């Protein structure tokens, strides 16, 4: 691969950004500096961290940026669910965006595993 734009995670994330922008255009004006801004920044941050990770020289640095991007996917999901709870959108209206966020997260998880120096799976908490 020559560019981060060749990654499937990039293409999926770009679709998520587009969907988030379409949705946030429908949020009330009073949310312009709240949910609208936060959703857009989180979605775009997924792509920014993906691009930055792709261009890092060490595997550990790459994995770290992909982990951050995956966290942004979770933030987008959480904020979309907030829009539903606040009754700005029906669940069906945000379903496609939620699916894109989850799919992007899964693709990022694959990149994280590929570049992590150790197994990145969460460890079970020891019981006393």
Q: What is the mean pLDDT of residues 48-77?
A: 96
pLDDT at 124: 65
**Domain map of the chain by residue range?**
4-115
Angle at 21 between CA 71 and CA 28, to 5 degrees: 105
| 1 confidence band (pLDDT: 50, 70, 90) | confident
pLDDT in tens, 82-114: 999 999 999 999 999 999 999 999 999 999 999
123/93: higher pLDDT:
93
Give the global pTM.
0.89
Q: Longest Cα pair distance anywhere in the chain, in angstroms? A: 52
The CATH classification number of 4-115 equals: 1.20.1440.60
């Amino acid at each position: 691969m020559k560019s981060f734009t060749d990654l499937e995670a990039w293409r999926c994330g770009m679709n998520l950004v587009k969907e988030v922008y379409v949705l946030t255009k429908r949020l009330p004006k009073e949310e312009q500096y709240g949910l609208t801004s936060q959703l857009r920044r989180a979605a775009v941050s997924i792509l920014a961290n993906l691009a930055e990770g792709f261009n890092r020289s060490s595997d550990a640095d790459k994995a770290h940026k992909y982990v951050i991007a995956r966290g942004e996917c979770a933030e987008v999901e959480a904020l979309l669910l907030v829009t539903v709870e606040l009754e700005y959108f029906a669940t069906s209206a945000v379903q496609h965006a939620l699916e894109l966020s989850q799919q992007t997260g899964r693709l990022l998880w694959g990149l994280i595993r590929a570049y992590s120096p150790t197994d990145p799976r969460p460890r079970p908490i020891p019981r006393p």
